[in-house]
């Protein structure tokens, strides 16, 4: 099997797609600024009492001026600018790229430090991706670059498979009931889809099993031939478009699809190694 891309290209595309996610998520945070304001539910004075180190001591003196309102709005602001710069300067490498990716990683972590409430899997994927990109850019060593690609690829594949295994362990996931019930909620649901799945329990079970099978077997991409890997990734695109449309999980699309170039590359490498092993 020929490798689809050079490692540099793989990381470039991962960075481009993940940067779109960061710009989008950061602008959404700024649009939702009242949430962090004096009449919002994410009150820093309460949230900082979660940990002693956020309330007193050197770390508190460092983060309090940054995370209190309205200064905290600069965190998604700086994050958006750094990710935007990575998009605007596609040829940037070395220390400059490491610094910008590092700013995105650190500001993403600061959002978690400010409040774990409202953060989601897309935000977690962003932290993983940009911390890795920053370290890889800073190192520049081809082995570290390869390790960074594998790290993002394995985390991406694990995210699907672990979710699939957890779903497979629950009877009401297997019979489709949970899927119909999620679609019936106001926060993640869609009334028309909820009614349809409620009226057609067999189709609900079929849809749930499709998700369970695709997710739980995703980790196998590292052992499958190229067409099968491409099929898994195409199903992933379909899955994320669907969850964005039906559930409003828009940033999940960008955050997780950013792992697809590394997954495709790592799967190709793995398959080539396995082919070599079996052939020798």
Partner 1 sequence: MTLGSFDWAVLAVLGTWLLATLVSHVPTRRLRWIKDVDPFGLIPGWTFFAPKPATTDLHLLYRDRLDDGCCTEWREIPFAERRRLLHAVWNPGKRYRKALFDICMGLAESAIGSEHDPATMKLSIPYLLLLTYVGSVDHLPGARAVQFSVVTSFGMVSDREPEVLFLSEFHGL
Q: Is 280 exposed, middle or buried (0-12, 13-18, 19+ CB in 10 A)?
A: exposed
Site residue total, partner 1 (CB under 8 A): 81
Q: With contact defined as beta carbons under 8 Å apart, do 233 and 220 qualify? A: no
Q: Which listed residue (8, 65, 116, 201) binds partner 1 by CB under 8 A?
A: 116
Choose between 61 and 186: whose C-beta lies nearer to partner 1.
186
Choose between 90 and 192: whose C-beta lies nearer to partner 1.
192
CB of 246 to partner 1, least distance (A): 8
> d(Cα 67, Cα 131) in Å, to the nearest integer?
20
CA atoms within 13 A on the CB side of 275: 12
Binding window for partner 1 (CB under 8 A); candidates: 15-23, 36-44, 82-90, 264-272: 36-44
Binding window for partner 1 (CB under 8 A); candidates: 3-11, 82-90, 117-125, 220-228: 117-125
Distances (CA, A) of 88 to 16, 81, 100: 10, 10, 12
Of 108, 89, 134, the C-alpha closest to 21 is: 108
* Residue 123 within binding range of partner 1, rule CB under 8 A: yes
CB of 218 to partner 1, least distance (A): 11
- Residues with Cβ within 8 Å of residue 127, at least 6 apart in sequence: 105, 108, 109, 112
Choose between 46 and 225: whose C-beta lies nearer to partner 1.
46
Q: Which of residues 151-210 bind partner 1 (CB under 8 A)?
A: 151, 154-155, 158-160, 162-163, 166-167, 169-170, 173, 178, 181-182, 184-191, 194-195, 198
SS3 state at 17: helix
Q: Which of residues 45-64 bind partner 1 (CB under 8 A)?
A: 46-47, 49-51, 53-54
> d(Cα 137, Cα 53) in Å, to the nearest integer?
31
Choose between 1 and 60: whose C-beta lies nearer to partner 1.
60
CA angle in degrees (0–180, nearest 5) for 169-209-204: 110
Choose between 90 and 166: whose C-beta lies nearer to partner 1.
166
Binding window for partner 1 (CB under 8 A); candidates: 14-22, 30-38, 222-230, 265-273: 30-38
- Residues with Cβ within 8 Å of residue 51, at least 6 apart in sequence: none
Choose between 151 and 232: whose C-beta lies nearer to partner 1.
151
* Residue 135 within binding range of partner 1, rule CB under 8 A: yes
């Amino acid at each position: 099997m020929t490798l689809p891309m050079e490692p540099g290209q793989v990381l470039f595309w991962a960075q481009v797609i993940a940067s779109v996610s960061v710009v989008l998520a950061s602008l959404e945070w700024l649009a939702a600024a009242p949430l962090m304001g004096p009449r919002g539910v994410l009150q820093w004075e309460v949230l900082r009492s979660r940990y002693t180190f956020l309330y007193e001591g050197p770390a508190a003196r460092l983060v309090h001026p940054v995370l209190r309102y309205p200064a905290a709005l600069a965190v998604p602001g700086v994050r958006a600018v750094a990710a935007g710069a990575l998009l605007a300067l596609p040829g940037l490498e070395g220390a400059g790229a490491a610094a910008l990716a590092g700013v995105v990683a650190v500001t993403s972590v600061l959002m978690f430090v400010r409040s774990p409430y409202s953060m989601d899997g897309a935000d977690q994927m962003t932290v993983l991706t940009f911390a890795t990109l920053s370290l890889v850019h800073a190192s520049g060593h081809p082995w570290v670059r390869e390790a960074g690609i594998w790290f993002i690829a394995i985390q991406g594949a694990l995210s699907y498979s672990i979710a699939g295994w957890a779903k497979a362990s629950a009877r009401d996931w297997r019979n489709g009931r949970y899927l119909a019930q999620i679609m019936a909620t106001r926060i993640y649901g869609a009334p028309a889809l909820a009614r349809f799945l409620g009226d057609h329990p067999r189709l609900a079970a079929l849809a749930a099993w499709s998700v369970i099978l695709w997710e739980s077997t995703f980790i196998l991409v590292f052992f499958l031939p190229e067409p099968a890997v491409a099929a898994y990734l195409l199903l992933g695109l379909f899955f994320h478009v669907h969850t964005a449309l039906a559930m409003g999980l828009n940033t999940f699309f960008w955050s997780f699809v950013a792992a697809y170039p590394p997954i495709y590359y790592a799967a190709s490498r793995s398959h080539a190694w396995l082919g070599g092993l079996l052939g020798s």
